[in-house]
Amino acid sequence: MPELERLAAEHADALLAFERENREWFARSVPDRGDDYFAEFAARHAALLTEQATGRCHFHLLLDDGQVIGRFNLVDVAAGEAELGYRVARRAAGRGVATDGVRRVATLAREAYGLRRLTAATTMDNAASLAVLRRVGFIPAGGVSLDGRPGLRHVLTLVAED
C-alpha cells in the first residue's frame, strides 16, 4: 500500500521526477507550472518546507516504492479551515489513488492538524476530480472561475458544526 508522507527535504528528487514525468498530463486539467518551476525547483522545494514549518500549509506525498504517485496539499490554513489541492501521476490514475489520498489527508486534517473544514475547487470538465471530491463527501458550494474556466467549489465538514 502506498505510504502518505509529510513533505520533507529528502523528497526533492522524487518530487521533481514526478512533476517532470507528469507535466503534460497535469497540463490537461490545470495550468502548466512553466519552465521556471523546474529550473528553480530546489529553491521552490526549500520555500515549501519553510512555509510548512509555519503551519500555514501541510504538504503530503503519496509514495509507492519510493516514487511519488500523488501530491495532496492543505494550503491557506487559518481559523480551522484549509484549501485542499491534489494531483496524481498518470500511471496511477483510475485506480482509486486520488480518492484514497484525499480521504487520508482529510483524516490528517481533522486528527493531526485540528481542522474543521476543507474546501476544494476543480474545473467542470475535470470529471475525475469532481468524482473524487463527491466520493469523499465534499458538497458542491458554488461556481468559481479557475484560470478562466468554469469550476465548482466544494466543502467538506470534518467535525460536527456547533
Instruction: Collect contacts of 88-95 with beta carbons under 8 A, ≥24 apart.
Output: 88/62, 89/18, 89/21, 89/22, 89/25, 90/21, 90/22, 90/25, 92/64, 93/25, 93/128, 94/128
Ordered by where they begin, the domains of the chain are 3-157 (3.40.630.30)
Pairwise CA distance, residues 132 & 111, whole Å: 21
The 10s digit of each residue's pLDDT in 13-52 is: 999 999 999 999 888 877 778 888 889 999 999 999 999 9
pLDDT in tens, 117-154: 999 999 898 899 999 999 999 999 999 988 888 999 99
Among 97, 161, 156, 157, smallest CA distance to 121 is for 156
Indicate if the alpha-carbon torsion angle 53, 56, 92, 2 is positive or negative: positive
User: pTM score, two decimals?
Assistant: 0.91
Cα distances from 133 to residues 5, 9, 23, 77, in angstroms, run: 21, 29, 22, 19
Q: Report the percentage of the chain scoring pLDDT > 90.
A: 78
Q: Are 85 and 48 in contact (CB under 8 A)?
A: no
Confidence of residue 161 (pLDDT cuts 50, 70, 90): low
Task: Quote the pLDDT of residue 1.
Answer: 81
Q: What is the chain's mean pLDDT, rounded?
A: 93
- What's 93's DSSP letter? T
Residue 58: its H or E element:
strand 58-64
Pairing, β 139-146 against β 149-157: antiparallel
